Structure 1
Amino acid sequence: MDKMSKEQRSHCMASIHSKNTKPEILVRRYLFAHGFRYRLNHPRLPGHTDIVMRKYRTVIFVNGCFWHGHEGCKYFVLPKSRTEFWQAKIERNRERDLEEQRKLAEMGWHCITVWECQLKPKVREKTLQSLEYTLCHIYLEDHKVKRYEMQEEERVMAAEPDVEKK
């Protein structure tokens, strides 16, 4: 059974916001401090993207482990009361997340998900450095110079020696 009254639980759950969460602010501060620029919650993209980086054609979702059902995470535990409601709600969130990421991928966007548990103090620096590395890799792959190989017969020098002189 729940330790809080129905009114207390309602007030507690209503105070949880979906924008400007502590994990999201951690990621944004790190990115900005390392020279990455971004937009927040871009209205023209499908879904609720947290961070949009147009230069990298990348969107970053900063997900809470409980609200998005992070499997195998100690922070994702279904409540003991109203289990069916919470199971259905979290399953809808997962399905919506997958659908949004599928639409973004079809539009040519890269999708990165950072979980709340990956931003805990013990692993935070490693996670953020990995994110930085991934963004740099995406940029380099997308802006790679394409080299075309020419057939041997097609190669012509600009100033060829005059071979017909006797």
Structure 2
Amino acid sequence: MADVVDPATRSRMMSGIRGKNTKPELIIRKALHARGFRYRLHCDLPGKPDICLPKHRAVIFVHGCFWHGHDCHLFKWPNSRPEFWRRKIERNREVDGEAAELLLATGWRVATIWECALKGRTRRSLDEVINQCADWLLTGGSRLTISGRK
């Protein structure tokens, strides 16, 4: 028998899931600040980037592997309500792609740091992740993606 949760209960359950100021975001922000990078939070740009660096005309998205459907060990399709989750996660992926294209078209540079780069068995060292970000911010390049080790 499938679990059936009424909308009010589902709403209360989902309200505990953070949309901003997540632990991975805080880790990246603190490390960038320690390296001297100054940023703005949650700018009014397409896709609502987690970190905006106007001086470098760059934005950083810190994506959770589950919510954005990353192909890594942290992502697993849920067994309950598979049609709902497939639609939701596929739509998240579409929105991510559309936002990145809009940002690039308007002259912003776009970085995506995946949760698996910071946690789990494929994680990288924080220094490695921040070094990649810093190099990208200082040397240019339109796109950067950092994920866990394969």
Pair in the same fold by TM > 0.5: yes
For residues 83 and 5 of structure 2, the distance between their equivalents in structure 1, rounded to whole angstroms, comes to: 17
Q: Deviation at 1:5?
A: 7.8
Tell me which amino acid in the other structure corresponds to 2:96: D
Give the residue type in structure 2 aligned to 1:51: I
The match for 1:92 is 91
Residue identity opposite 1:62 in structure 2: V
* Cα distance between partner residues in 2 of 1:77 and 1:120: 16
Is 2:31 aligned against 1:30?
yes
> Which AA in structure 2 matches 1:6?
V
Deviation (angstroms), 1:25: 0.4
Matched ranges for 1:92-131 at <5 A: 92-120=91-119, 122-125=123-126, 126-131=128-133
Counterpart of 1:82 in structure 2 is 81
- Relative to the length of structure 2, the TM-score reads 0.82
Work out the CA distance in 2 between the residues paired with 1:15 and 1:23.
Answer: 16
- The unaligned stretches of length 5 or more in structure 2 are 142-150
Counterparts of 1:100 and 1:52, CA distance in 2: 14
Residue 111 of structure 1, CA deviation: 0.2
List structure 1 segments (4+ residues) > 6 angstroms apart after TM superposition. Answer: none
Deviations 1:117-151 (A, max 9, x none): 10127413212221111112129xxxxxxxxxxxx
Alignment of 1:151-166 (within 5 A): none
2:30 is paired with a residue of what secondary structure? helix
Q: CA deviation at 1:34?
A: 0.5
- 1:1-80 equivalent positions in 2, closer than 5 A: 6=5, 10=10, 11-43=12-44, 45-71=45-71, 73-80=72-79
Q: Deviations over 1:32-86 (max 9, x none)?
A: 010000001112x222111000111100000000000002x01110110001100
Residue type at the aligned position of 1:107 = T
Secondary structure at the aligned position of 1:46 is classed as coil
User: What is the aligned residue count?
Assistant: 135
Q: What is the distance in 2 between the residues matched to 1:69 and 1:95?
A: 11
Q: Give the superposed CA RMSD.
A: 2.1
Deviation at 1:12, TM superposition (A): 3.6
Which letter maps to 1:68? H
Gaps of 5+ in 1: 140-166
- 2:21 and 2:52 map into 1 onto residues whose CA distance is 14
